[in-house]
Amino acid sequence: MSGSRTNSNDSKARPVLQAGLIGNGIAASLTPAMHEAEGCELGLDYTYRFIDTSSDEFRGQSLAQLVDMAESNNYAGVNITYPYKAEILQYTGELSANVQALGAANTVVFANGKRIAHSTDYSGFSRSLERDMAGWEKRKVLLVGAGGGGSAVAFALADWGVEELLIYDIDAAHSRALTGRLELHRPQLLTRLLPGLDKTALAGVSGIVNATPMGMARHPGTAIAADLLLPAMWVADIVYFPLETELLAAARAAGCKTMDGSGMAVFQAVHAFELFSGLKADPDRFVKQFEQLTSTDDP
C-alpha cells in the first residue's frame, strides 16, 4: 500500500494513510471528505489534508516546496488542482501514458522514491460521459478552457467519439498547445481554434463543456454568454462547487440538456483513492457520500 504505515497505538492496527489536495482557494472542495469516508469504510486510519495556497498557512510557498513537504511527511500522494495542473509536471519523475499526452496531471503518487503523475480528471470525466451522456449528440462540441482540466476533458471527449472539437481559451497559447497535443495523439479528431465566442462561431454546435474556473464560488459568472445557448445544445460544466453554476442555470432556462460537475468530481476521487491506497474503492459509496455532502436538505 503506497505511503501507508501501521498505527502502533491502535489496538486494531489500522493502516495509516495520508494524502492531500494542493490548490488555490480550495476550502469548499469535497474531495477530502470523500476520501476519508471511503478510507474509514475500508479500515484505514486515513487523513486527507487541504494544502491551500490562499490560506495563511501555505500562502507564499511554491508548488515545489509543497510537494516536497508532502513527500517528506510520508504522504501516499497528493491531488493537484487549479492553477497547478500543468506546473506539477516539473516536479514529477514518471508520467502515466495519459499525462504524457495531456501535458497536465491532477494526481501524484509517491512510491519507492518516485513521483508518478496521473490524470484522474481524464478518467473521471470519461466515466461521467459514459454514465450520464449516453446517446447525446457528438458531432461538434465546443470546449471552453484549455488549461489542465480542459486538456483532460478534450481527450475524454475525443475518446468518447466527438468528431469535431472547437476550442476557446482566453489565453490563445493554451488553445494552440492543446490543439497540438490532440493532433499528435488523437489525429482522428478534427480540431478548430476559435478567436472568440459568438453566434457565428457556434453555428451547428451540438454541445458545450465549460472547463474554466468560471462559476466557482471564487470565480463567479459564466464563460459563455446565455444568449449563445440554444435548446438543441447540451451543456456540461466541470465545476461542482456550486453544482448549480450560472452557466447551467442559463442552459436549463434555454431548454438545454445539462450535466453538472458531480460525476467528474466523484469518479476522479475514486481513481485517486485507489492510486493512493492500492485498494479497490466502491464508486457507489463515493456517490452517496457526495450526495450527502451536497444536500441542501436539513438533517
Query: Could you tell me which of 196, 205, 242 has the C-alpha nearest to residue 221?
Result: 242
Q: Which single residue is written with the C-alpha cell 478548430?
A: 192
Query: Could you tell me which of 211, 144, 146 has the C-alpha nearest to residue 178?
Result: 146
Instruction: Tell me the DSSP string of 89-135.
Output: GGG-SEE-HHHHHHS--SEEEEETTEEEEE-HHHHHHHHHHHHH-TT
User: Which residues have CB under 8 Å from 117's CB, separation 6+?
Assistant: 88, 89, 92, 94, 95, 96, 99, 105, 107, 108
CB 93 within 8 A of CB 109: no
Alpha carbons 119 and 275: distance in angstroms, whole number: 11
Catalytic residue among 48, 82, 84, 240: 84
Q: For residue 84, indicate whether it is catalytic.
A: yes
Q: Judging by DSSP bridges, how do beta strands 77-80 and 15-23 pair with one another?
A: parallel
- Residues assigned a catalytic role: 84
